[in-house]
Amino acid sequence: MAAKCDLSLLEGVLDEYADVKGSLITILQKTQEIYSYVPEDAVYLISERTGVSPAKIMGVATFYSQFRFAPAGKYKIQICKGTACYVNGSERIIDVLTEELGIQSNETTEDGLFSFTVVSCLGCCSLAPAMMINDKAYGNLTGDKIRQIIRGLRKEAEAQ
Ligand code: FES
């Protein structure tokens, strides 16, 4: 897990939800909104304030695929496995992405460049299979196309 984070950013969330029964998921979601992931330090603070053990918090957080435990990459990829994308081969596309990046969903590459999340619809089903990288949509993906996009971004980052 990653480095120190500014835990004061989480105070407002904990003031509002720490004593509200059944709000652990909400707290974790808001934590991730603030930091882009769920930092280890935040888990301990949430534990202190809610009385739920860190192990239990991690158990809940890891059960839900929406949570990540390392900072997101410079290029945040959301790849879709919703129905339209699935019938157009998104599984294979996700396999290629996993292979090309060497990480699984919700992980970040060691160089900090890429992270990816599998989502259930990006709202651009006519482009299926589709993905977003930061704010840009990419559609009609194939294995070759996805490799080209990733390699292009790597080069772009190296040139900076
Ligand atoms: S199902 Fe993939 S964008 Fe809607």
Please write the tens of the pLDDT for every residue from 43-58.
999 999 999 999 999 9
Average pLDDT, whole number, for the chain? Answer: 93
| Residue 108 sits in the same domain as residue 155 | yes
Q: Where residue 2 falls among pLDDT bands split at 50, 70, 90? A: very low
- Neighbouring CB atoms inside 10 A of 50's CB total 19
Q: Is 137 in the pocket of ligand 1 (CB under 6 A)?
A: no
**69 in a domain, yes or no?**
no
| Residue 98 sits in the same domain as residue 44 | no
| Residue 142 sits in the same domain as residue 91 | yes
**70 in a domain, yes or no?**
no
Residue 61 CA to residue 159 CA, distance in Å, equals 37
Q: Is 121 in the pocket of ligand 1 (CB under 6 A)?
A: yes
Amino acid found at 144: D
Q: What is the CATH number of the domain that holds 34?
A: 1.10.10
**51 in a domain, yes or no?**
yes
Last residue within a domain, chosen from 63, 84, 107: 63
Residue 39: name the closest of 64, 6, 74 by CA.
Answer: 6
Q: Where residue 65 falls among pLDDT bands split at 50, 70, 90? A: confident
Number of structural domains (the chain) is: 2
Residue 143: name the closest of 87, 98, 86, 76 by CA.
Answer: 98
Residue of 122, 126, 132, 140 best suited for mutating to test ligand 1, as the one with most atoms within 8 Å of CB: 122
**30 in a domain, yes or no?**
yes
| Residue 148 sits in the same domain as residue 93 | yes
| Residue 97 sits in the same domain as residue 146 | yes
Ligand 1 atom closest to 124 (CA): 3
End-to-end CA distance of the chain: 27
What is the sign, positive or negative, of the torsion defined by CA atoms of 153, 142, 135, 24? negative
Domain hosting residue 122, numbered range: 75-159
| Residue 52 sits in the same domain as residue 126 | no
Contact 129, 93 (CB under 8 A): yes
**150 in a domain, yes or no?**
yes
Residue 128 CA to residue 43 CA, distance in Å, equals 37
| Residue 91 sits in the same domain as residue 141 | yes
**pLDDT value of position 3:** 53
Residue of 80, 87, 91 best suited for mutating to test ligand 1, as the one with most atoms within 8 Å of CB: 80
| Residue 52 sits in the same domain as residue 90 | no
Last residue within a domain, chosen from 63, 85, 104: 63
**1 in a domain, yes or no?**
no
Using the 8-state DSSP alphabet, how is residue 108 labeled? B
Residue 109 CA to residue 125 CA, distance in Å, equals 28
| Higher-confidence position of 36 and 10 | 10
| Residue 51 sits in the same domain as residue 81 | no
Q: What is the pTM of this model?
A: 0.77
Poorest-pLDDT segment among 20-24, 30-34, 65-69: 65-69
